[in-house]
Amino acid sequence: MYQVVLLIERALSRADAREVAGLHEGVDDSTHVHVVLPVENASHRVENALGSIAASEILSTSALTFPDVDISELQREIVEHSKDILARSIDVLRDCHCGASGELTTKEPVEAVSEIAQERSAEEVIIVTRPHLVAEFFHVDWTSKARRRLGVPVLHLLEHQDPAGPDDIPHEVPGQL
């Protein structure tokens, strides 16, 4: 079986799933795609928000009040939403006749993909993101880091968005950049 690890930052669209599946048409072995979705840490989100508030006070804008936040509840919401996004991404791959599985990770994304690719004896890694022009220019984006670290081909695809429908799950993981 041809093993592919797929790192995503948001829900995989049907167009992206077709593109990933199309890359492996004609491969003699069946293809299995293992989807990896990083999950944000809720306490980091609160810390970043507080940093933004502090910066606004320094820049002489009006001070904002920050309500009490239940970090564990916020983390539970983030994980549940991420599970929905992962399940949807796996489903669209399966709809394109790809074997698919997946997992959430709280590790640094390239580190997680590196470990998973090694565990699964992956033949390639695909990274699907929206454009990150500054990070790509300085070669500090996920793809550049993965290419330096992994001993397998790493392909970067820019994500597509499907036309929004009334039953669509939002694409973004809460707080993802």
CATH classification at residue 94: 3.40.50.620
Residue 164 pLDDT grade (very low, low, confident, very high; cuts 50, 70, 90)? low
pLDDT score of 135? 66
- Residue 59 located in a structural domain: no
pLDDT score of 40? 83
Q: Quote the CA–CA distance of 114 and 13 in Å, as a whole number.
A: 24
81 contacts 174 by C-beta, under 8 angstroms:
yes
Domain count, the chain: 1
Assess whether pLDDT exceeds 70 at residue 59: no
Determine the structural domain holding residue 136 and report its residue range. Answer: 2-41+70-158
pLDDT score of 166? 40
- Residue 35 located in a structural domain: yes
pLDDT score of 43? 52
pLDDT above 70 covers a percentage of the chain that reads 73
pLDDT score of 177? 41
Query: Degrees (nearest 5) of the Cα angle 114, 96, 32?
Result: 35
- Residue 166 located in a structural domain: no
- Residue 175 located in a structural domain: no
Assess whether pLDDT exceeds 70 at residue 64: no
- Residue 84 located in a structural domain: yes
How distant, in Å, are the alpha carbons of 69, 149, 161, 170 from that of 115?
33, 11, 29, 29
What pTM does this model have? Answer: 0.77
Q: Quote the CA–CA distance of 86 and 73 in Å, as a whole number.
A: 20
- Residue 60 located in a structural domain: no
Assess whether pLDDT exceeds 80 at residue 148: yes
> Residue 128: helix, strand or coil by DSSP?
strand
- Residue 169 located in a structural domain: no
Edge to edge, the sheet with strand 99-105 lists 99-105, 31-38, 2-8, 124-129, 154-158
Q: Average pLDDT of 19-46?
A: 83
| Residue of 150, 44, 35 whose CA lies nearest to 104 | 35
pLDDT score of 169? 46
| pLDDT tens string 67-117 | 666 778 888 998 999 999 999 999 999 999 999 999 999 999 999 999 999
- Residue 174 located in a structural domain: no
pLDDT score of 157? 92
